[in-house]
Amino acid sequence: MARRLMHVVSLAALLLVQGIAGLGQETAPPPVAAAVRIGAGDLIQVSVYGSGDLSGSFRVDEKGEITLPLLGPVQVAGETAEEAGTAIAKRYVGADILKARPALVTVSIAEYATQGIVVNGEVQRPGVYPALGVRMLNEVMVAAGGVTPQASSQVVILRREDPTHAVKVTYDPTAATPVIPRVQLFPGDTVMVPNAGGVYVLGRVGKPGLYLLEERRTLTVEKVLALAGGIGGAANSKHSHIVRTLADGRKEDIVFDSANILKGKSADIALKDGDILYVPVSTSKVIMQQAIADAISMGTMILTFRLTYY
């Protein structure tokens, strides 16, 4: 009997521990709205119950004050709308302008000057976006019109409270519908979408143009030539060039054999932002190709002449 009782107690304890562990693994609670505090330049709406003459819209000056009817300057910067409403009601009661019992003052922030979310960089519509309620990175990016084709695969968030420690969020900007991780933004945050950087490919290649670098991988000569459709005809691949701008502004010319890299006979070369890869034309090959073309053309003319006159 005692052994059975111990077994029941042990089983109950095990179920209790599992229940507690299960609670710990539940989905994290939804994000909460950050307390938006009034700042200089903000436009706030003050509503005094039962007294329209004391109500109105007021712009916060550089000192963080608003000037209220019959009350004069009142410091509101750094307070939430609720805190400001309570403080204004106390000031009116203390000045015997309102009675304590019915005194009710509500404050709302009609326009943000410094408390919004700044979005800049490689987005379609840079600007300042309101921070009311819970704002997530993905919805703010949508409001900014999404990223440009030159956008990096990283979004950098600078927090107003801790500007020295940037938050970096990685996503795939090349996707048809880019999926941006759910990251909450707060008033005063700055969202920066950097330029991805790129490499220019010129000369005798299939598709000359600008090819973007990616944060998650290294772009090399082999990869970029593959993207550019390979080396074209009459190319002087043995004297391909990478023109690179150094930190001090000087230009470095790196000469290499691009065909050997594609064949695996030479080591691949990592490219950097701003590099210019140039595959020149081979004059001798062009002359030879032109000679062959002229010979074919001449042969066609002779054949046509013979068929016509003989």
Domain 198-284 has CATH 3.10.560.10: yes
CATH topology (fold) of 43-111 = wza like fold (3.30.1950)
**Cα–Cα distance, 230 to 213 (Å, whole number):** 18
What's the confidence (pLDDT) of residue 257?
95
Comparing 43-111 with 117-193, is the CATH topology the same? no
Tokens at residue 256, please?
A: 């290499």
What's the confidence (pLDDT) of residue 35?
63
Domain ranges of the chain: 43-111, 117-193, 198-284
**pLDDT average per 10 residues of sequence, the chain (310 residues):** 47 44 43 67 87 89 90 90 90 86 82 78 90 81 89 87 84 73 85 90 92 74 93 88 91 94 93 91 60 50 47
What's the confidence (pLDDT) of residue 181?
78
CATH number listed for the domain at residues 117-193: 3.10.560.10
* 3-class DSSP assignment, residue 42: coil
Q: Where are the beta strands (DSSP E) in the chain?
A: 43-48, 56-59, 65-68, 72-75, 105-111, 117-121, 127-129, 135-136, 154-159, 162-170, 184-185, 190-193, 198-203, 209-212, 240-245, 251-256, 276-279
The predicted model scores a pTM of 0.54
Give ∠ CA 87-88-89 in degrees, rounded to 5.
90
Look at strands 198-203 and 276-279 and give their pairing. Answer: parallel
What's the confidence (pLDDT) of residue 30?
53
For 299, phi then psi, to 5°, come to -65, -40
**Looking only at Cα atoms, what is the longest distance across the chain?**
124
List own/partner pairs for 84-91 with CB under 8 A and 24 or more apart.
Answer: 84/38, 84/44, 85/46, 88/46
What's the confidence (pLDDT) of residue 32?
53
With beta carbons less than 8 A apart as the criterion, state whether 233 and 289 touch.
yes
What's the confidence (pLDDT) of residue 206?
92
